[in-house]
């Protein structure tokens, strides 16, 4: 049986519980052996809007995955120099006996037209569109292998969490407790 490997990329600035729900629901729905959470090393599409360092975001992703069945932090993109391109990551993870599933929220799918090396992406992985109630999206063009997974609508975003933290408001319950501890210990997202 081939290994079925899920990949959830993101900025994770910071990671939150909706990321966890997306990963575990996709894993359950598609029978994935593991889902890797892969923080982008250099998210060129968010130039100037990324607040925490790659090392801090990786540490928070590690804290997110600890103790959650089937979730693992992956440091591949953080260690790779240059702009982060998903196809490069898929190529690095591609292996005989392994099938790749690229998990994307509907907003990320809608943005795929801007991606680099889209043809390579299409040939390397099945796109899993993680849809909240009322959402749907398809990758641009033809020939994609696509799966759809419905998850509960959770109105949580990293942008909102950064605003909350900068304003001194709590984020407990919105991010895993272990991530709250990393944020406090490293004094992340406090007002500059
Ligand atoms: P930001 O507000 O900085 O854009 P974000 O909360 O959208 O951050 P990302 O790191 O950009 O988080 O997202 C990583 C992946 O998780 C993307 O595929 C995105 O679509 C998905 N995602 C983010 N938030 C949610 C959510 N609330 N529900 C389901 N999927 C989500
Ligand atoms: Mg986003």
Q: For 63-111, how does the pLDDT look when each residue is reduced to its tens digit (9 = 90+)?
A: 999 999 999 999 999 999 999 999 999 999 999 999 999 999 999 999 9
Could you say which ligand is closest to the alpha carbon of residue 8?
A: 1
Residue nearest ligand 1's atom 9 by CA: 10
Instruction: Give CA separation, 152 vs 29, 92, 105, 181, in Å.
Output: 13, 31, 12, 26
Strand partners, 146: 127
Is the CB of 13 within 6 Å of ligand 1?
Answer: yes
**CA–CA distance, 179 with 67 (Å, rounded to integer):** 12
| Model pLDDT for residues 47-62, shown as the tens digit of each residue | 888 799 999 999 999 9
Domains of the chain, earliest start first:
3-186 (3.40.50.620)
Query: From the CB of 43, is ligand 1 less than 6 Å away?
Result: no
Q: Which two tokens stand for residue 87?
A: 């196809």
Ligand nearest to the CA of 159: 1
Distances (CA, A) of 27 to 36, 79, 80, 179, 184: 10, 25, 26, 22, 30
The atom of ligand 1 lying closest to the CA of 11 is 10
In this structure, what token pair is assigned to residue 15?
Answer: 């990671």
Residues 37, 191: Cα–Cα separation, whole Å: 27
pLDDT at 115 over 90: yes
User: What CA–CA distance (Å, rounded) separates 100 from 127?
Assistant: 9
Can you give the pTM of this predicted structure?
A: 0.96
Name the pairing type of β-strands 146-151 and 34-39: unpaired
Is the distance from CB of 65 to CB of 38 less than 8 angstroms? no
């Amino acid at each position: 049986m081939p290994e079925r490997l899920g990949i959830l990329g993101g900025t994770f600035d910071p990671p939150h519980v909706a990321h966890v729900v997306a990963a575990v629901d996709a894993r359950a729905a598609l029978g994935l052996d593991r889902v890797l959470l892969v923080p982008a090393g250099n998210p060129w599409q968010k130039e100037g809007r990324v607040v925490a360092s790659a090392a801090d975001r990786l540490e928070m992703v590690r804290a997110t995955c600890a103790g959650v069945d089937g979730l693992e932090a992956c440091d591949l993109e953080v260690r790779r120099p240059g702009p982060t391109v998903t196809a490069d990551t898929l190529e690095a993870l591609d292996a005989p006996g392994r099938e790749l599933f690229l998990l994307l929220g509907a907003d990320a799918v809608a943005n795929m037209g801007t991606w680099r090396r889209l043809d390579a992406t299409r040939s390397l992985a099945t796109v899993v569109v993680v849809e909240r109630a009322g959402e749907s999206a398809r990758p641009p063009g033809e020939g994609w292998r696509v799966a759809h997974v419905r998850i509960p609508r959770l109105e949580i975003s990293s942008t909102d969490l950064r605003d909350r933290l900068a304003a001194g408001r709590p984020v407990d319950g919105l991010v895993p407790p272990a991530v709250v501890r990393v944020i406090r210990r490293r004094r992340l997202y406090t007002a500059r």
